[in-house]
Structures are given as structure tokens and as C-alpha cells.
Structure 1
């Protein structure tokens, strides 16, 4: 019994010591720190790529000094940290909160740019044999979110340091989203969903100006109208196709004549 009692005391003592150690590790070392001190610790974590600790410090600045300029800057940095840490939803949430709280902040242009970057997928992401996927075949929702953010940036802040880069990204986004719509139109056409194909093709022409996908969209419209025996509409689509693409490859090759998305991707270092 004495031996059992002694063993129990040893186990209990070990548990208490371990508990004290765990409690000690949970002590907030920033207690009593000023906003500049906590923020500097956060910046150091960012520089070191320590996203978890950076997030903790930035949250501490916001919660303890909510009306300070450091709180505003911390929210900007928090969005960046979440983006770099591959947490797009949290990054977008931080950006939206910032834009709602500080609509006239000098950093608004940067936050719009960052919002566009969160869901932007550059062409270089697809230049690998691993994926081999055309970006226009991906879910376009993220690309549309990027388009909206970049568009707002260049319209509201045309002289922003981020505006030129955003404009270049918009060119790529417009072409890619238009290609996606043309892909969907072709999908419906091949499956005899001619009305749906026409609607999607019309969307390409209505929403996007001067894109290469317009050629395929017009051809799909023409062929869909022909399949529906709508001769007048088919002739109208053909007339517009001939005016804009007089030597259209689709007449000879059909929809197998699709141009690779890489054909219009130039120069290589667009987004570097």
C-alpha cells in the first residue's frame, strides 16, 4: 500500500508540474506591451515568415488598441499574412472588414489590389506538365472576384502605384473569363443545348470587347441558330463573324480549330 501510495504521489506531482508548464507556455508575453511594441513584434514575424505568430501579434494590436493607427495597419498586414499563409477566405474577410471600417483610408488602393491578388491565378501557374490545364477551364468565380477588385482599383485610383499592374492583369482576366464562357457555350452546343449555347455565346459578345473568344462565340451562335432552323438569326451571326473574322478558321476546321490559350499569352514576364 505504501508503495502504491508513493507511486500515486509521483504521478500526481508529475501531472501538476506538466500542468504548470503548459500554463506557463500559455502566458501572454505581450501583456503590458504598447501598441508599437506589439506591432514591431508582428512585423518581425512577418519578415521571418512566421505567419502564425504574426497573426497572433496583429490580432493583439487590434483587440487592445482598436482605435489606434496601429490597429488599422495591423488589419492590412493581417490580410497580407493570411494571403501568404494560403488562407484566401480569411484574407478576403480581413480585406472586406478593412474596406467597411476605413473606406477612405490611404491604403484602400492596396487592399483592393490585394483582394484581386488573393483569387488571381497567373498564367505561370499553368505552365507545367503537372497540371496541363487551360485556366479558362477552371472555376471562374475566383477570377471574376479578381476582375471586380482590379477593375474597382483602376477606376477609383487610376494613378495608384498598383494600377498599371492591375490593368495588365485585367487584360488576362478578361480573355480568360471570356474563354470560359465560350467553353461553356461549346459544351451546350455539342450536347444539343442550342438555346443555352446561344445565351452563353451572346454573353461573350455582350460583356467582353475585342477578345479572341468572340470568334468562337459567333461561330457557335451561327451553328446553333442553324440547328434550330432560325435562318435569319444564323445569317446575322454569320455576317458579324465575317465582318470581324473574314478568314475564320472555324469554317474549315469547325470547333476543333480552337487556338491554344498560350498563343495570346505574351510576353512571358507579364506578371513577374
Structure 2
């Protein structure tokens, strides 16, 4: 009896595998007579003709029927783009992640990271924000943080990629939004007379976002907060840094009065 159980299990696994295989082929039955080359080149024509939905079906069939073929890598990266063009961000991100797992140093790894960044960047702005130009800084920046990390992977891992300049520009924009959000929080604390918290938040901007345009407001909040706290030496030292870095600032002149 002990020998029968493994045999039954083996038969069960074989049956499940066969069923799974049959279901897979049933799902793509209409494409089974097409070669990997046929599916790949036909899907490219669909993408060029702005028919991503058609391309997706063929690329999914290519991925399922020929997962290790000559067109597997190219087909998978095209699937990322097709999903993106079809406004299916979650599927596009999943496809990009799958590509990077299968081909961590593949021919299109830089593009996969770039697309992950672009998709998350786009998700960082709601439809209404994009439509009317609402500033996203006061809102949740989780998606933009994800975009920043993906762009950073691209920039550090593939510095010669032609996607790098655009990625760097978007990273700079995201960093400025992070800094602006911190200034908004620091201002809130200052208005509530929570001067220690205000100074700490503003200091984070000076330390972590020192190339952003929000350093001047940060230094201003720091000086004013230290003065409110009676921390004269800290206020004076911060003012000296302000003077050395931004001698022509109007905010500086107001603090000097």
C-alpha cells in the first residue's frame, strides 16, 4: 500500500499537468498554427498601427506557446509596451518585472526599468491632476517614489542608455516635489507653533534636497524657528549659511531686518 500512494500522487500530478497544458493550448487555439515569427511580426504591425489590444493577444500567445524561443525576449518587452499603450498599468508593470527576472542583463533591461519608472510616474498623477495641472506635492507621493527608484536603477545600472537623460530630468522633478512636500509640512508645524518639528523638517530639505529650489524656504523656516525657540546661536549659524549660499535672496534680506 505504501508504494501505491506515491504512484497515485505521480498520476495525479501528471493528470493535472496534462489538464493545465490542454487548457493553455485551448486558450490560444487560434494561434497554434502560427509560428513564433508569425506572431511576433504580426504583433509589431498591430503596435505600429496603434492596435495594442490585438498585439497583446498575439504577444500573450507567443509568450505562452513559445516561452523559450528566439522571439521570447523581444516579445516580452513588446508586451510591456503594448499593455502600457492599452492603459493597463498593472499588467505592464508585471510584464516589466517578469522581463527583469528572466533577463536581468538582457538586451532591453534599461527599457524595462525606464518603463517601470514611466508607468509609476504617470500613476503619481490622477486624471484630474493631469487635466487641470494640480500640484501633486501636497498629496501621496508613493507612486512617484516608486518611479524614482526605477529611474535610479536605470541611471546607476545602465549609465550609457539613451533613456538616462529623460530619467534624470524626471528624477530631479520628483526630488523637487519631495522637497516641496517637506516644506509644506514644515510650514504647517511652524504655523501651529511646533517650532522644533518645523526646524527639523526644514533641515531635512537642506540636507537631502540641497539642489532643489526649496532650500531657501527651508533655511528661512529654520532661522525663524530657532529664533522662536530662543536658540540664538543656531539661528545665527543658519543665517550665515544662508548668506554664504544665497546672498541676493529676498527672504534673506527680510530675515536681516
> Could you state the TM-score of these two structures normalised by the residue count of structure 2?
0.75
- Secondary structure, in 3 states, of the residue corresponding to 1:158? coil
Residue pairs, 1:1-272, within 5 angstroms: 28-120=29-121, 131-251=132-252
Listed one character per residue, the Cα deviations across residues 203-229 of structure 1 (whole Å, up to 9, x for unaligned) are 212222322111111111222223333
Listed one character per residue, the Cα deviations across residues 30-54 of structure 1 (whole Å, up to 9, x for unaligned) are 1222111122232222223223222
Deviates more, 1:54-63 or 1:145-154: 145-154
CA distance in 1, matches of 2:41, 2:219: 57
Post-superposition shift, 1:253?
6.8
Question: For structure 1, which runs of at least 5 residues remain unmatched after alignment?
Answer: 1-25, 255-272
Listed one character per residue, the Cα deviations across residues 38-81 of structure 1 (whole Å, up to 9, x for unaligned) are 22232222223223222222111111111123222222112112
Please list every run of at least 4 consecutive aligned residues from structure 1 whose deviation after the TM superposition is greater than 6 angstroms. none
Query: Do 1:143 and 1:177's aligned partners in 2 also have CA atoms closer than 8 Å?
Result: no
> Could you state the TM-score of these two structures normalised by the residue count of structure 1?
0.72
Change (3 A) 1:200 1:54: farther
Aligned residue pairs, count = 225
CA distance in 2, matches of 1:90, 1:138: 25
Query: Do 2:47 and 2:82's aligned partners in 1 also have CA atoms closer than 8 Å?
Result: yes
Change (3 A) 1:193 1:56: farther
Query: Do 1:38 and 1:61's aligned partners in 2 also have CA atoms closer than 8 Å?
Result: yes
- Secondary structure, in 3 states, of the residue corresponding to 1:136? coil
Query: Do 1:201 and 1:217's aligned partners in 2 also have CA atoms closer than 8 Å?
Result: yes
